[in-house]
Amino acid sequence: MLFVLIIILYKGSSKWIWFFMKKIFRGGSIVTANGIQTADLLIIEDKIDSIGTDLYDDEAEIIDCIGMIIMPGGVEPHAHFSLPMFDTISSDNHYTGHRAAAFGGSTTVLDFTSQLPGQSLQASIANSIDQASKSAAVDYSFHINVTDFNADIEKEIRTLSLQGFTSLKVFTAYNDTLRLLDEEIMSILEVARDHGLVVMIHAEDGDEIENLVSKALSDRHHEPIWHARTRPSHGEVNAGKRVIDMVEESDAILYIVHISTSGLLKQLVSGRRRGVRVMGETCPQYLFFTEENLLQSDGGKYVCSPPLRSLQDNTDLWEGLSDGSLQTVGTDHCPFFANGKLPIEYDGDQVSIPGKELGDDDFTKIPNGLPVIEHRMALLWTFGVSTGKLSVERFVELVSTNPAKIFGLYPRKGALMPGSDADIVLWDPNKKHTISVRSSHMRTDHDLWEGVEVEGMPKQVYLRGRLLVKNNNWFGQPGYGQLLKRDGDFQFV
């Protein structure tokens, strides 16, 4: 049998990687958002060529998938790498974060640009691409943060879809840094509507947060729990409702990031019933943890924005995933060391990065963010699919297909069909794993799910036909990930 081989030499390494230009995934259960079928899948180079029974090609490597699930690579819609915050920076860069994502089953990751005061959007985009291009290990793109709006920025927004960027993000919180005025948000919604863009919103009440923080500090409240108490649930609900009303008036398309409350979920459902084009995302932390975690001795580890809420919110958000009220699950991955004074060994180096300890005496100085990206799919499978809350098809829809559709990547990503990128996860539904910081690939000194057993994990992960992960071994490399030009003809789901 003649096999066509490509030999790749890892840069700076004597390790040779061989892989076939043609592969047949034989006998697995192919799962997409549309259904399940037992079939073979043929890929040629970086694309899916065909799906059918008893496929044959004498030049193809045969991959035995009996007992396995074949699904499209995960599309992570919400992550932050090397994000400056306070006096530090988030601890995963594009290589370490992308690698962790791949070990979890995600082959495409969407990050955010950071616009500085007075900076053009083009400058922020160029900076982000420069930072990511040499280290990216999976395919990637950026949502464009707009935090300083004027007539020149409005002109730039009109050109973004032509450049392959189809999403903007704005904030109703973080006064004096990220927040825009309501009239500025309305202007952005209108120009986005006319130029094929989705507007993403971080919904919290910046004025109320500012007032409550000032009062808490004056009353000498410094503990992590006050991060949550100064960012109450009703602030998220009211800010979200206000922007949904703007979208109804402007006929734009809105994507609400990291929904943490049942109240905002209700506003989302109400808006969609009225015909408002609004979609919503939640994250694993809002399904598993509550404000009570902030009362623990290590409560600073759980500080994120919006903050953790109540057990009832957890329950209602799970229900929103089950009944279709929510459209995606992202992570808002933005890790910081719990104690950056103590170095950890990572990739053979000693690494220490200032982290949560910066706020030991003041909750307002605790960097906001959590390490999550590696666990998104395993957690959702174990506690969603395995418990009957989610069907397998719904799982694929939430973690892959819907993010691809919403952000202009479908059917190149998020699909298993002829012509799609050969981003393939061979998923073992019976594989068990106990989560631990010792086995995590995220660059962090702690894991919020330490000791939790998951059942259902990737066995092999391919990006454009190239093997990245097999049986917990890494075959990827920095720079292989491609910047994706996204299609302005995105879908409202």
User: What is the pLDDT, as a whole number, of residue 363?
Assistant: 98
User: What is the pLDDT, as a whole number, of residue 487?
Assistant: 84
One-letter amino acid identity for 157?
I
User: What is the pLDDT, as a whole number, of residue 9?
Assistant: 42
User: What is the pLDDT, as a whole number, of residue 489?
Assistant: 74
Bridge pairing between strands 35-44 and 47-52: antiparallel
Nearest to 141 by CA among 71, 77, 188, 73: 77
Nearest to 424 by CA among 435, 413, 439, 437: 413
Please state, as a whole number, how many other Cβ atoms lie within 10 Å of the Cβ of residue 155: 12
Residue 81, by phi and psi: left (phi above 0), alpha (psi -120 to 50) or beta? beta
- What are the per-10-residue average pLDDT scores of the chain (493 residues)? 41 40 96 96 98 94 97 98 96 98 98 97 98 97 98 98 97 97 98 97 98 98 98 98 98 98 98 98 98 98 98 98 98 98 96 98 98 98 98 98 98 98 98 97 98 98 98 96 89 94
State pTM to two decimals.
0.95
Q: Domain 74-393 is of which CATH architecture?
A: Alpha-Beta Barrel (3.20)
How far apart are alpha carbons 259 and 266 in whole angstroms? Answer: 11
User: What are the residue boundaries of the structural domains of the chain, listed by start?
Assistant: 5-72+423-444+454-474, 74-393
Q: Which residues lie closer than 8 Å to 389 by C-beta, 6 or more apart? A: 318, 321, 322, 383
Q: Which CATH superfamily is domain 5-72+423-444+454-474 in?
A: Urease, subunit C, domain 1 (2.30.40.10)
The secondary structure of the chain, three-state, reads: CCCCEEEEECCCCCCEEEEECEEEEEEEEEEECCEEEEEEEEEECCEEEEEECCCCCCCCEEEECCCCEEEECEEECCECCCCEECCEECCCCHHHHHHHHHHCCEEEEEEECCCCCCCCHHHHHHHHHHHHHCCCCCEEEEEEECCCCCHHHHHHHCCCHHHCCCEEEEECCCCCCCCCCHHHHHHHHHHHHHCCCEEEEECCCHHHHHHHHHHHHHCCCCCCHHHHHCCCHHHHHHHHHHHHHHHHHHCCCEEECCCCCHHHHHHHHHHHHCCCCEEEEECCHHHHCEHHHHHCCCHHHHCCCCCCECHHHHHHHHHHHHHCCCCEECCCECCCCCCCCCCEEECCEEECCCCHHHHCCCHHHCCCCECCCCCHHHHHHHHHHCCCCCCHHHHHHHHHHHHHHHCCCCCCCCCCCCCCECCEEEEEEEEEEECCCCCCCCCCCCCCCCCCEEEEEEEEEEECCEEEEECCEECCCCCCCCECCCCCCCCCC
Helix axes 233-250, 262-273, angle to 10 degrees: 20
User: What is the pLDDT, as a whole number, of residue 20?
Assistant: 55
How far apart are alpha carbons 461 and 394 in whole angstroms? Answer: 20
One-letter amino acid identity for 373?
I
User: What is the pLDDT, as a whole number, of residue 263?
Assistant: 98
How far apart are alpha carbons 313 and 298 in whole angstroms? Answer: 22
User: What is the pLDDT, as a whole number, of residue 378?
Assistant: 98
For 445-478, b/e burial (b = at least 16 CB within 10 A) is bbbbbeebebbbbbbbbbbbbbbbbeeeeebbbb
User: What is the pLDDT, as a whole number, of residue 76?
Assistant: 99
User: What is the pLDDT, as a whole number, of residue 6?
Assistant: 40
